[in-house]
A and B are shown apart, each in its own frame.
Chain A
């Protein structure tokens, strides 16, 4: 049905009407919002009635609130079932830890030169093989002289030490004087609490014989809470680290890097005489990891700094257990660190505008057949 007037492409009549109505509404709204009296009234309303879901609920009839409370009670029961679920997950983790252990034991042997991988065990083709070879050749060109010595090198030198260096969270803890000690670190193991025991896990740091301390293993145990809090059952999200315990390091004489000696001059207020005393004070060191702040047993809460330090400690313990120990080689090569970085970057800009665009209502398309 041809209309001979030379009209431009326009929206249909109905759409136009709708548009006009919307425009009118918008204009009205604008006018209203500019009227100070209206604004004041609105503000008062807003102040008096918050728009949170919880206050929305307060407007409900009693009978409905009753039923909502019943749902909350059911939810508490769910939380308790969930606690049992997490206990079973923990059991599963313990079971699988035993399955991983032979692989981790072999890893330790290769790292420390206790065993040598066969050709089949050492065969590896990566995607970036050519790139890596080039990078390697360039590097090797510079250090030709050292090569002769290196064929005698045992295992993978400084394996765990390198991981500490590569991972920010850990390298921040390591001081210069810790480094020679960490080079003796041969293995880190994760041990899980047994069934029936309160839920916990331990990190075992296995050291080779060294000049610094006589222990062969340093341990850190993290205790977990895996039950909903009676006063706040809905905050339960699974097991949480709530406390930790270190161990005593039997330092050899003069080797304790966690303390330093300082000399102080003191002046007697009355007499005016001056004396010099020596004092032992704590020294920054990775090995303070094994003497964590105690979470107070008598319910006293810690100051903010201590809480922050503890929280950081828990995060490190968790990170060792979940990422470092299971995937150590990837932190040694750095592959896992790039992954972790990528993961963090993704957390930004989570909220994307997802609505598809509205179909444009104007089209220049006289060629197509009309679809009715």
Chain B
């Protein structure tokens, strides 16, 4: 029998290979490693060693300060030099985002003809040609011929029953109702008004102006207010904060302004009148008082809480610096660092939500409204917000310009 011990697997006969069964495996070259592992295990069981390790860890973990400061002075110096370089990077980054903003403005002009056509189709100003309507159904939606016949009959019946509607009725109202973030804002009394919403446009600040974008809500003539357009402008910060340059992560919404709505008489859904009976504490007499209070309504969107403008970006003495990014706003809310005064909890929550909505309208709704109308985009967005610790959705992360609040 040939001595075949210690031969490389690859050298062996194919025939031999088939007749063998694996008996046991030994690992070589790892003896040193296993010894080390054994030692480690022993060490970790020694309480004194554990205590010392723990102390060291406590000092190091989580505190960047601790680790860096423990470095030799001459190294620390170089780390500080790197930090200064990093500040310069942040300033260059700010310029990068300005140029991205310009690029967005340029492309907004390229999208606009398509959005204009969209608006014309929705509002029955333009009827698309056969060719323009040719759309293959999804492969998934293959229907049997029988079903198709049935559907056709039903449709013809429907068409007889209904008048031929113009455009795409209630397009934007439907979009609002399909999207949780928006439907949360819409009350019953808002719906008849939103039926008159014919278009939403995004406008970008011009070169040289402070970075901002504006949402324009275009309405058909209606019984509720005289404005043709309601606007909401979001102001952005696009420079690193001198006191905290490393927190800069791209432009952030920092404040917003609405517009005045010229309500027709008795039609202001943002107010309601209530009657109150009051009892005089002393005399015991009762009187009835009418009072006007604010009413929940989507149209409060155009009267957001005021964010005072300020050169050094501080809103009130009890607050951290303003502007706050959406995420840091939420953080402060959670940590209850925001107390009374200008910045009460409700205002903060409203503003944070408002910024999110403005951003969402700009980035998702306006550019892809038909997909929110049909519902296709809503499933996609749900994937984005999946919180259950699943692996990151890579596709969403690849955008170079990411989903930053621009």
On whether the two chains bind one another, the answer is yes
Within 8 A of A (CB), among B156-180: 158-159, 162, 164-165, 167-169, 174, 178, 180
Contact A70–B291 (Cβ < 8 Å): no
Q: For the complex, what is the distance from the CA of A363 to the CA of B92, rounded to whole Å?
A: 57
Q: How far is the CB of B280 from chain A (nearest CB, A)?
A: 4
Within 8 A of B (CB), among A115-134: 116-117, 121-124, 127-128, 131-133
Task: Report which residue of B30, B69, B88 has the largest number of chain A beta carbons within 10 angstroms of its beta carbon.
Answer: B69
Q: How far is the CB of B406 from chain A (nearest CB, A)?
A: 12
Q: How far is the CB of A199 from chain B (nearest CB, A)?
A: 10
A122 and B133 contact, Cβ closer than 8 Å, known pairs A61-B159, A278-B6, A329-B86: no
Cβ of A217 < 8 Å from any Cβ of B?
no
Contact A139–B69 (Cβ < 8 Å): yes
Q: How far is the CB of B154 from chain A (nearest CB, A)?
A: 9
Contact A106–B394 (Cβ < 8 Å): no
Cβ of B128 < 8 Å from any Cβ of A?
yes
Contact A276–B5 (Cβ < 8 Å): yes
Q: Which residues of B contact A117 (CB under 8 A)?
A: 77-78, 80-81
Contact A260–B296 (Cβ < 8 Å): no
Cβ of A264 < 8 Å from any Cβ of B?
yes
When each residue 16-32 of chain A gets 1 if its CB lies under 8 Å from chain B and 0 otherwise, what string results? 00000000000000000
Cβ of B41 < 8 Å from any Cβ of A?
no
Q: For the complex, what is the distance from the CA of A75 to the CA of B168, rounded to whole Å?
A: 16
A61 and B66 contact, Cβ closer than 8 Å, known pairs A238-B398, A276-B6, A372-B290: no
Q: For the complex, what is the distance from the CA of A279 to the CA of B162, rounded to whole Å?
A: 78
Other-chain residue from B127, B133, B397 in contact with A318 (beta carbon distance below 8 A): B397
Contact A70–B246 (Cβ < 8 Å): no
Q: For the complex, what is the distance from the CA of A10 to the CA of B279, rounded to whole Å?
A: 9
Q: For the complex, what is the distance from the CA of A64 to the CA of B74, rounded to whole Å?
A: 73
Q: For the complex, what is the distance from the CA of A260 to the CA of B162, rounded to whole Å?
A: 76
Q: Which residues of A contact B132 (CB under 8 A)?
A: 70, 73
Contact A54–B376 (Cβ < 8 Å): yes
Contact A278–B400 (Cβ < 8 Å): no
Cβ of A265 < 8 Å from any Cβ of B?
yes
Chain A residue at minimum C-beta to C-beta distance from B20: A266
Within 8 A of A (CB), among B171-219: 174, 178, 180, 184
Q: For the complex, what is the distance from the CA of A261 to the CA of B392, rounded to whole Å?
A: 35
Q: For the complex, what is the distance from the CA of A271 to the CA of B8, rounded to whole Å?
A: 21
Within 8 A of A (CB), among B267-291: 274-282, 284-291
Q: For the complex, what is the distance from the CA of A122 to the CA of B285, rounded to whole Å?
A: 76
Chain B residue at minimum C-beta to C-beta distance from A327: B86
Contact A268–B20 (Cβ < 8 Å): yes
Q: Which residues of A contact B376 (CB under 8 A)?
A: 54, 234
Cβ of A5 < 8 Å from any Cβ of B?
yes
Task: Report which residue of A13, A327, A339 has the largest number of chain B beta carbons within 10 angstroms of its beta carbon.
Answer: A327
Contact B22–A266 (Cβ < 8 Å): yes
A262 and B27 contact, Cβ closer than 8 Å, known pairs A235-B380, A359-B293: yes
Chain B interface size, under 10 / 10 to 19 / 20 to 34 / 35 or more: 35 or more
Chain B residue at minimum C-beta to C-beta distance from A336: B246
Stretch at the interface among B227-235, B256-264, B308-316, B346-354: B346-354
Contact A273–B380 (Cβ < 8 Å): no
Cβ of B340 < 8 Å from any Cβ of A?
no
Cβ of B83 < 8 Å from any Cβ of A?
yes
Contact B72–A70 (Cβ < 8 Å): no
Cβ of B7 < 8 Å from any Cβ of A?
yes
Q: For the complex, what is the distance from the CA of A71 to the CA of B35, rounded to whole Å?
A: 69
Q: Which residues of A contact B244 (CB under 8 A)?
A: 127
Chain B residue at minimum C-beta to C-beta distance from A310: B394
Contact A318–B16 (Cβ < 8 Å): no
Contact A121–B162 (Cβ < 8 Å): no
Within 8 A of A (CB), among B25-40: 25-30
Q: Which residues of B contact A41 (CB under 8 A)?
A: none
Chain A residue at minimum C-beta to C-beta distance from B135: A69
Cβ of B145 < 8 Å from any Cβ of A?
no
Contact B135–A73 (Cβ < 8 Å): yes
Contact B387–A347 (Cβ < 8 Å): yes
Q: Which residues of A contact B82 (CB under 8 A)?
A: 107, 110-111, 156, 328-329, 332
When each residue 224-251 of chain A gets 1 if its CB lies under 8 Å from chain B and 0 otherwise, what string results? 1000000100110111110000000000
Contact A279–B8 (Cβ < 8 Å): yes
Contact B370–A72 (Cβ < 8 Å): yes
Cβ of A191 < 8 Å from any Cβ of B?
no
Contact B135–A72 (Cβ < 8 Å): yes
Chain A residue at minimum C-beta to C-beta distance from B377: A234
When each residue 314-343 of chain A gets 1 if its CB lies under 8 Å from chain B and 0 otherwise, what string results? 110010000000111110111111110011
Other-chain residue from A122, A328, A351 in contact with B80 (beta carbon distance below 8 A): A122
Task: Report which residue of A53, A71, A116, A312 has the largest number of chain B beta carbons within 10 angstroms of its beta carbon.
Answer: A71
Contact B394–A311 (Cβ < 8 Å): yes
Contact B286–A61 (Cβ < 8 Å): no
Cβ of B46 < 8 Å from any Cβ of A?
no
Within 8 A of B (CB), among A26-76: 52-54, 56-57, 59, 61-64, 66-75
Chain B residue at minimum C-beta to C-beta distance from A128: B65
Q: For the complex, what is the distance from the CA of A327 to the CA of B82, rounded to whole Å?
A: 10
Q: For the complex, what is the distance from the CA of A67 to the CA of B135, rounded to whole Å?
A: 10
Contact B78–A261 (Cβ < 8 Å): no
Cβ of B374 < 8 Å from any Cβ of A?
yes
Task: Report which residue of A8, A9, A238 has the largest number of chain B beta carbons within 10 angstroms of its beta carbon.
Answer: A238
Q: For the complex, what is the distance from the CA of A358 to the CA of B293, rounded to whole Å?
A: 10
Q: Which residues of B contact A276 (CB under 8 A)?
A: 5-6
What is B's interface to A at a CB cutoff of 8 Å? 1, 4-9, 12, 16, 19-30, 59, 62-70, 72-75, 77-86, 88-89, 92-93, 95-96, 99-100, 103-104, 107, 110-111, 114, 117-118, 121-122, 127-128, 132-135, 139, 155, 158-159, 162, 164-165, 167-169, 174, 178, 180, 184, 243-244, 246-247, 274-282, 284-294, 296, 327, 330-331, 346, 349-350, 353, 367-371, 373-378, 380, 385, 387, 391-392, 394-401
Would you mind naming 29 contact pairs between A and B with Cβ atoms under 8 Å apart?
A6-B279, A6-B284, A61-B159, A70-B133, A73-B134, A96-B93, A100-B89, A103-B89, A103-B92, A110-B78, A110-B82, A121-B81, A131-B65, A238-B399, A264-B26, A269-B19, A274-B23, A275-B7, A275-B20, A277-B8, A277-B9, A278-B7, A327-B86, A329-B79, A329-B83, A332-B79, A333-B64, A342-B331, A372-B289
**Extra inter-chain contacts (16) besides given A86-B400, A127-B244, A237-B398, CB under 8 Å:** A68-B168, A68-B373, A69-B133, A70-B121, A71-B370, A73-B132, A85-B107, A90-B400, A96-B92, A99-B92, A122-B84, A128-B65, A238-B401, A260-B29, A278-B28, A359-B274
Closest A-B pairs by Cβ, 6 of them: A136-B69, A53-B375, A12-B275, A117-B81, A334-B64, A238-B399
